[in-house]
């Protein structure tokens, strides 16, 4: 009878974990923490091991985490990062009128592909992301096809793109796990890794900006306000909309291991009143990884 009772208890515990969507590998204590983010995925890149999965396959708005794929497709299709790639006027106007985040470039400004890459990743510039798309493929629609083709190549089951900047539109979605897998693959590209882990970058001098534009990572610059004890956040991408909440995808190092942490969906009521819960969750995870 006792044996039957133990089996029943074990089955109940397994079901409870499945219901809340939590999957923990390796006996770590990450599942015991309290999180603001609804969707979380933690991946030990060094040992190729999943550490934590909380609703990580749920399809959600990715906000500007879309720009991770935008950047990956770009670096795989640019032969010379120093080549001139002017800022597209029409998409500049559209991004400006849509209240998208902007890197600070002007329409027709004669910047380089490298400038647009850093403008997309560090400053999360909508005009930079769309200008990459048009300079590389000739149209935004064609570029989005390339992004979706890359998603298929990576065998992502819960990702679909509608634009390169990440503004919320119906039919555009991703998941915490898919985004982690995009980052994991992209980091094998040296150009991507350089952009993803850069804290600040000064763009090429132009007639519009004679001294260039100083672009700062929305992730690494924010971490100046926080203590990092025993680990280091090497780089990352932020994303924030009312629908998506506050989102982060980061690469960190603790000990000899590299970790990819994706946190998404912390609630947000006012886009001008940020809580930075994604920062809190990321650092909480890093402090507790054993």
Q: Give the H or E element holding residue 235.
A: strand 232-241
In a structure prediction context, what are the per-residue pLDDT tens digits for the chain, which is 290 residues long?
A: 444 444 444 444 444 444 444 444 444 689 999 999 999 999 999 999 999 999 999 999 999 999 999 999 999 999 999 999 999 999 999 999 998 999 999 999 999 999 999 999 999 999 999 999 999 999 999 999 999 999 999 999 999 999 999 999 999 999 999 999 999 999 999 999 999 999 999 999 999 999 999 999 999 999 999 999 999 999 999 999 999 999 999 999 999 999 999 999 999 988 888 999 999 999 999 999 98
CA distance 126 to 23: 35
In this prediction, residue 28 carries a pLDDT of 65
CA distance 42 to 50: 6
Residue closest to 216 by CA, chosen among 132, 280, 121, 127 = 121
In this prediction, residue 14 carries a pLDDT of 46
Domain CATH number, residue 123? 3.40.710.10
Q: Tell me the whole-structure pTM to 2 decimals.
A: 0.90
Of the candidates 64, 131, 137, 238, the residue annotated as catalytic is 64
Q: Give the H or E element holding residue 254.
A: strand 245-254
Of the candidates 23, 37, 55, 67, the residue annotated as catalytic is 67
Is 290 in the active site? Answer: no
271 within a domain of the structure (yes/no) = yes
Of the candidates 101, 124, 131, 175, the residue annotated as catalytic is 124
160 within a domain of the structure (yes/no) = yes
Is 67 in the active site? Answer: yes
Is 79 in the active site? Answer: no
11 within a domain of the structure (yes/no) = no
- Which tokens in the block code for residue 229? 């004890």
237 is in an annotated binding site: yes
Q: What are phi and psi of 69, to 5 degrees?
A: -70, -40
CA distance 259 to 74: 24
Enclosing domain of residue 62: 34-288
User: Would you tell me how many other CB atoms lie within 10 Å of the CB of residue 106?
Assistant: 15
Residue labelled with tokens 């952009």: 195
In this prediction, residue 7 carries a pLDDT of 47
Instruction: Quote the Cα angle for 221-61-90, to 5°.
Output: 75
CA distance 156 to 246: 22
154 within a domain of the structure (yes/no) = yes
In this prediction, residue 40 carries a pLDDT of 99
23 within a domain of the structure (yes/no) = no
In this prediction, residue 228 carries a pLDDT of 94
Give the total number of structural domains in the chain: 1
pLDDT digits (tens, 9 = 90+) for 157-187: 999 999 999 999 999 999 999 999 999 999 9
17 within a domain of the structure (yes/no) = no
53 within a domain of the structure (yes/no) = yes
10 within a domain of the structure (yes/no) = no
């Amino acid at each position: 009878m006792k044996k039957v009772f133990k089996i029943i208890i074990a089955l109940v515990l397994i079901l409870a974990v499945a219901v809340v969507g939590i999957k923990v590998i390796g006996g770590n204590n990450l599942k015991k923490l309290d999180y603001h983010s609804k969707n979380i995925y933690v991946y030990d890149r060094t040992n190729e091991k999943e550490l934590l999965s909380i609703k990580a396959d749920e399809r959600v708005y990715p906000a500007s985490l879309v720009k991770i794929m935008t950047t990956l497709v770009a670096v795989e299709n640019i032969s010379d990062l120093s080549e001139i790639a002017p800022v597209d006027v029409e998409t500049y106007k559209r991004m400006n009128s849509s209240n998208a985040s902007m890197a600070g470039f002007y329409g027709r400004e004669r910047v380089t592909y490298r400038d647009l890459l850093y403008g997309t990743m560090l400053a999360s510039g909508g005009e930079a992301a769309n200008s990459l798309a048009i300079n590389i493929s000739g149209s935004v629609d064609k570029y989005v096809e390339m992004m979706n083709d890359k998603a298929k190549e990576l065998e992502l089951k819960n990702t679909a793109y509608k634009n390169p900047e990440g503004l919320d539109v119906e039919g555009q979605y991703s998941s915490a796990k898919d985004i982690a897998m995009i980052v994991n693959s992209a980091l094998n590209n040296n150009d991507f890794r350089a952009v993803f882990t850069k804290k600040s970058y000064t763009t090429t001098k132009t007639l519009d900006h004679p001294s260039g534009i100083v672009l700062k990572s929305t992730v690494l610059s924010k971490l100046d306000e926080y203590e990092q004890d025993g680990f280091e956040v090497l780089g990352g991408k932020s994303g924030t909309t009312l629908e998506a909440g506050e989102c982060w995808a980061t690469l960190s190092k603790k000990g000899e291991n590299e970790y990819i942490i994706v946190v998404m969906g912390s609630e947000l009521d006012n886009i001008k009143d940020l809580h930075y819960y994604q920062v809190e969750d990321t650092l909480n995870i890093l402090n507790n990884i054993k």
